[in-house]
Amino acid sequence: MPTTAKSKAKNTAERKARRGKSSQTQTKTKGVSAVQLLEQDHREVEEYFDSFDEAKNDRAKEELAQKICMALTVHAQIEEEIFYPAARRATGDNDLLDEAVVEHASAKKLIAEIEEMEVGEELFDAKVRVLGEQIKHHVREEEEELFPELDRTDLDLEALGAKMAARKEELMDELQDA
C-alpha cells in the first residue's frame, strides 16, 4: 500500500519519539547491553530511512541507500552470529527466532538487489522503501516481543552487548576497507 505524506509524517514523528526514549534509557555503565546496542542500531537505520524519504537528489539517495545497506548488513550479521543463538538458548522461543532469521534472509535479498542497482533506476526507490517497511516490522517484533522475553531470563545482556559491539566494530572496519 502506498505511503501517504500524512502517514509518512506520523511515522517520522513516532520514530523520533522512540529515538528520544531510547537515548533516555542509556545506562552510564562502561558498555551497553545487547538490547541497547540493537535498539541504537534500530534508531540509526530508521533515521536513514526517514532521510531517504525526504531526499531530493540522487546523490543523497545513493549515500543513504549505502548507509542503510551497510548498517543492516552488519546488524543482521551480529544478530545471527551472536545474539540469536544466545537468545534462542535463553528463551527457547524457536518460532520467534526462526521468523527473525527468515526476515533477515528476505532483507538480505533486497539489500543485494539495491546494491546492484543505480539510483534513478526503475524500482530503486520502491525497493529501498519496501526494505524500510520490512525492517520496521522486524524491529517491532524484536522490541515488543523478543526483548521483553529476554528481560525475563538470566542472560547476561551486558556481556553479550560487549561481544556484539566488538564484532560490530570489526565488521564495520572490514566493510569500510572493502
Please, are residues 119 and 58 in contact by the beta-carbon 8 Å criterion?
yes
**Which amino acid is located at 139 in the chain?**
V
Q: DSSP string covering 134-178, please? A: HHHHHHHHIIIIIHHHHHTS---HHHHHHHHHHHHHHHHHHHHH-
| Residue pLDDT, tens place only, 99-154 | 999 999 999 999 999 999 999 999 999 999 999 999 999 999 999 999 999 999 99
Confidence of residue 90 (pLDDT cuts 50, 70, 90): very high
Q: Would 152 be classed as within a structural domain?
A: yes
pTM reported for the whole predicted model: 0.82
Asked if pLDDT for residue 6 goes beyond 60, the answer is no
Q: Would 26 be classed as within a structural domain?
A: no
pLDDT attached to residue 31: 80
Q: Would 42 be classed as within a structural domain?
A: yes
Asked if pLDDT for residue 21 goes beyond 60, the answer is no
What is d(CA 168, CA 71) in angstroms, rounded to the nearest whole number? 10
pLDDT attached to residue 27: 34
Q: Where are the alpha helices (DSSP H) in the chain?
A: 5-24, 34-54, 58-78, 84-91, 94-116, 124-141, 147-151, 157-177
Q: Which domain holds residue 101?
A: 5-20+31-177
Sign of CA dihedral 2, 14, 78, 114: positive
What is d(CA 138, CA 142) in angstroms, rounded to the nearest whole number? 6
What is d(CA 156, CA 29) in angstroms, rounded to the nearest whole number? 14
Q: Would 25 be classed as within a structural domain?
A: no
Top-confidence residue, 21 or 134: 134
> Which three cell numbers mark 96?
520467534
| Residue pLDDT, tens place only, 146-177 | 999 999 999 999 999 999 999 999 999 998 88
| pLDDT-above-70 percentage for the chain | 83
pLDDT attached to residue 14: 52
What CATH number should be reported for the domain holding residue 87?
1.20.120
| Count: domains in the chain | 1
| Residue pLDDT, tens place only, 48-60 | 999 999 999 999 9
